[in-house]
Structure 1
Amino acid sequence: MIFVFHGPNQSKLRNEFVNLKKGYEDVKFWEEELVDLVGYLSLQSLFGGRELVVLENPKVADAVKFSKKIEGKRLEKDVVMLFSEGLNRQKLAKFKDANIREFRDDIPKNVFPLLDAILARQKQKALSETRRLLSQGNDLGYLLKMFSWQLRNLARVKGGVTAGINPYVVKKLSRFKKSWSDANIQEALSLILKADLKLKKGKKNPVEFLVDKITSL
């Protein structure tokens, strides 16, 4: 059996991986060439127990070639491929007979009005939503993470790399592809990174000032 775990929600992915490992007596992280793994999978485990072989972020092209080589073969061990990003449908279709699991980000709905206002450059609404979220107990670190998440997803939508993103989010972000240049996105992400570094150093950095700068780009 081949498992393919992919998607941006690495926390959920790792938790599911931990649960998967519990069903095996032995777990081996493969660090050699994939071509050598084909023969290894046909060997019985030393002590006869179930063995799981783990591939951490293999190159997609190499992983596809590997999966084709073992199609129809009798395998004595299972394989799980862990990808840190979502794979699109075309790539997933090449993993025949694999158990594929996607792990998408879970974003609270109450933050979307703020994220939408930022991309629409509606400064006053964005500032109002920022104050609302802070008054509800959301900290600055969380808001910075959400700002970054929204902008990185916009960059992916602009580049046509939408695997792992909720289709509804893709549709919404598509409205802003022309109004946000790649340079705008990079500058906004740079501002967020600087704010995050200041926050981690214990320096004050009013989020309203950050929102004002991003919506002015």
Structure 2
Amino acid sequence: MKRLIWLSTMSLAIAATSLPVVAQTQDSPQTPGTQSPELQTPGERQTPGLQTPDTPAPGTQTPGVQPETQIQQTTPSADASMGAPKIKGTSALRDANYISLYTGSQPLSYVTIMPPDYIGIGDNITVTDQSGQNIQANVTREGEKVRINFAQPVAPGSTLEIALTDLAFGYPYPSKSTFGYELAGGYTGFNREIPYGLAQFQVY
């Protein structure tokens, strides 16, 4: 009888010591190498059924999307390479003076010539361009100042030859000295004349 009681006591002791092992096995049904969702980092969690969109590599384009193009707008302006208007040169005969004039980068409407006190300019004035073509113009006067009005504005970048072939010299006539005409130009779109300076002549 004592032997049976002792065996029963031993069986109960063995069963009591094996219970925690069974409990651990039931609470942790994971296989080695896996993590529970609670132990994953926030960046590793994904909602079932959702996929992270692929990010294209640098330098690649998404199909159907055109690259952005830049449109450059140009504003019309005068060509600065033409330079400023100027008197290019002069030449003289006994009764005629010739002035070479560069018009610059704007259309030229008229030219004014102011002679010195002892020189009178007649109406016989001709104007030609760099190709020798006559330019139609009429002559008006503002006191002693002569104004050459062009029928059509002269194109930018032109070189004009102005021939003053009807001159009258009064006293004191220059001898072995220089004299000059004051020149200015009126341009399309400008409210005031542009001075060219003096067209100088040497007298011998």
Specify the TM-score bucket, using the shorter chain as the normaliser: under 0.3
Structure with more strand by fraction = 2
Q: Which has the higher contact order (CA 8 A, sep 6+)?
A: 1
Larger radius of gyration: 2
Structure with more helix by fraction = 1
